[in-house]
Every structure is written in C-alpha cells, then in structure tokens.
C-alpha cells in the first residue's frame, strides 16, 4: 500500500454539521469516493442515502449515535444503533453519557457502552466510543473509560464528537478536540483488541501524520481535500 493510500484509509470523512443539506451530503460523499477514504461519518437520517451514493466504492458508511451530547437513554441509543445498522451503517460512533462519566458512575457507563457494542456486533458493525475529552479531562477518567471499552469489547476509543464546545469566561465557546497526550494515553490504556480514533481539530497533513505516530488507526476529518491533496504532493513526487 502506498503512503497516500495508507493515509486515505485512516480518514473517516465527517459529514456532520447541523446545517448540511442533501446537496452537501452528495458533494461530500463524492469527495470521500474520489480520495477513497476509509469511511464517511454521517447523521442517522443520511445513512440510507449515503449507502446509495457510495455504492460500488470501497468507502464504508458510518453513523453517529447519541450525537453530539450523548444524553439519550441507553435503550434509545441501542434502538438508534439498530436502525442505523438496518439502514446500512457498518460503523457506529457513539457518544457516552458525559455527565455519568464525570460523576464516576462507571456501572452505568459500562452498561451503556456494552449494550451499544453488543447491538453493533449483532449487526456486523464495529463501534467507536466517543469520550469527549474537552469535557472528560482527568487522566484517571480517560484511563477508566479505556478499561471499560476493553472489557466490553468495543472496537475503537475516540477523543471527540467535534462539537464539545466549552464556554469561556467571556461567554464565547472554544474547542480543542484531539491532543497528542490524550491519544498516547488512550493508546497505552486500551487492550490489544481496541484501536484509537482521533477526532476534532485535525485539519492538515502534518496533523494526520502526528496522530498516526501517536498510535491512531483512524482520524475524523472535514478537511479531507486539503489533507489528501497535500499528501499526494508530498509523497507522490
């Protein structure tokens, strides 16, 4: 596999902004197909349409669950997962109940992740578990989440939704997303069967290479065109 192909197959092309229309979905699926990325990551209603748009390509269809704040009841997340899988999603990116994690209610978190993981695997899909590390910031909590994901058999741990905005003192919102220290911590805290996905703030080729070096197998991105065009310019000389 060439370096460019290797990097393309790390990218989950995110099509998740609330304002995106069907026309936007069509355009972004065309981008994903052109660069032959690993997958698209779409909103639940868009799964069927994305499957149709990507028919005949090697690009997989993934879907977000409990997105972006993770507040749905467990049975709702499980139902949402089942619908997405029945509609054709083969990858599921679920947001944990952030408040429960911050409260240290690990039994709830284990039950939640376990239930969604089981439903994914019953339907032949993989699951990526979003911690939202702009909110869940303590190392010990990130480690505990990694241990739970390993225990219940989740396929990936993932940093962020891309929408974990933190309100600053001036009333404005800021966002960090994936950081190398968090990715390295997650990589060393999961079992050998669990992979790591970076998401949030990776907008350049050097950013993608950095998260790859930190041990990530996948990376969420909206700046796919820039990343891939730069990769072709650098590695196909």
- Look at residues 124, 148, 138, 235 and name the one whose alpha carbon lies nearest to residue 182: 138
Per-residue pLDDT tens over the stretch 150-160: 999 999 999 99
**Does residue 134 carry a catalytic annotation?**
no
Q: What is the pLDDT along the chain (237 residues), one digit of tens a residue?
A: 899 999 999 999 999 999 999 999 999 999 999 999 999 999 999 999 999 999 999 999 999 999 999 999 999 999 999 999 999 999 999 999 999 999 999 999 999 999 999 999 999 999 999 999 999 999 999 999 999 999 999 999 999 999 999 898 999 988 899 999 999 999 999 999 999 999 999 999 999 999 999 999 999 999 999 999 999 999 987
Cross-strand pairs, 87: none
Token look-up 């290797």 returns: 6
Please give the sequence-ordered ranges of beta strands (E in DSSP) within the chain, or none if there are none: 11-15, 39-42, 60-65, 91-95, 126-130, 156-158, 166-167, 173-174, 195-198, 218-221
Coil, helix or strand at residue 64: strand
**Does residue 93 carry a catalytic annotation?**
yes
Q: Which of 33, 128, 144, 158 is catalytic?
A: 158
Q: Which of 33, 128, 195, 197 is catalytic?
A: 197
Alpha helices in 103-138 (DSSP H): 106-122
CATH number for domain 3-235, candidates 3.40.50.300, 3.30.230.10, 3.20.20.70, 3.30.750.24 = 3.20.20.70
C-alpha span between 73 and 11 (Å, rounded): 30
Which residues 6+ apart lie within 8 Å of 68 measured at CB? 16, 95, 161, 162, 163, 164
Q: What is the pLDDT of residue 237?
A: 72
The pTM of the full predicted model, rounded to 2 decimals, is 0.97
Q: What is the pLDDT of residue 175?
A: 87
Q: Which of 12, 93, 134, 141 is catalytic?
A: 93
**Rounded percentage of the chain residues whose pLDDT exceeds 70:** 100
Q: What is the pLDDT of residue 1?
A: 82
Residues 185, 188, 192: CA angle, nearest 5 degrees: 140
- Decide if 146 contacts 194 (C-beta within 8 A): yes
Q: What is the pLDDT of residue 104?
A: 98
Cross-strand pairs, 42: 15, 63
> What tokens appear for 128 in the block?
């990526």
Q: What is the pLDDT of residue 187?
A: 98
Per-residue pLDDT tens over the stretch 90-116: 999 999 999 999 999 999 999 999 999
């Amino acid at each position: 596999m060439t370096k460019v192909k290797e990097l393309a197959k790390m990218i989950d092309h995110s099509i998740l902004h609330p304002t995106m229309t069907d026309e936007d979905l069509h355009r972004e699926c065309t981008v994903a197909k052109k660069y032959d990325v690993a997958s698209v990551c779409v909103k639940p209603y868009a799964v069927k349409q994305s499957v149709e748009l990507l028919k005949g390509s090697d690009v997989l269809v993934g879907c977000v669950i409990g997105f972006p704040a993770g507040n749905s009841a467990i049975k709702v997340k499980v139902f949402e997962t089942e619908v997405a899988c029945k509609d054709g999603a083969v990858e599921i990116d679920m947001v944990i109940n952030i408040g429960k994690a911050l409260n240290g209610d690990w039994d709830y978190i284990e039950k939640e992740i376990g239930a969604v993981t089981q439903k994914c695997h019953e339907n032949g899909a993989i699951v990526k578990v979003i911690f939202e590390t702009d909110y869940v910031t303590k190392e010990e909590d990130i480690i505990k989440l990694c241990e739970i994901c390993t225990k219940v058999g989740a396929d990936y741990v993932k940093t962020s939704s891309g929408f974990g905005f933190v309100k600053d003192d001036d009333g404005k919102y800021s966002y960090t997303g994936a950081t190398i220290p968090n990715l390295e911590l997650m990589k060393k805290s999961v079992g050998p069967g669990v992979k790591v996905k970076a998401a949030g703030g990776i907008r350049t080729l050097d950013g993608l290479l950095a998260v790859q070096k930190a041990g990530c197998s996948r990376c969420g991105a909206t700046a796919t065109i820039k990343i891939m065009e730069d990769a072709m310019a650098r590695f196909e000389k």
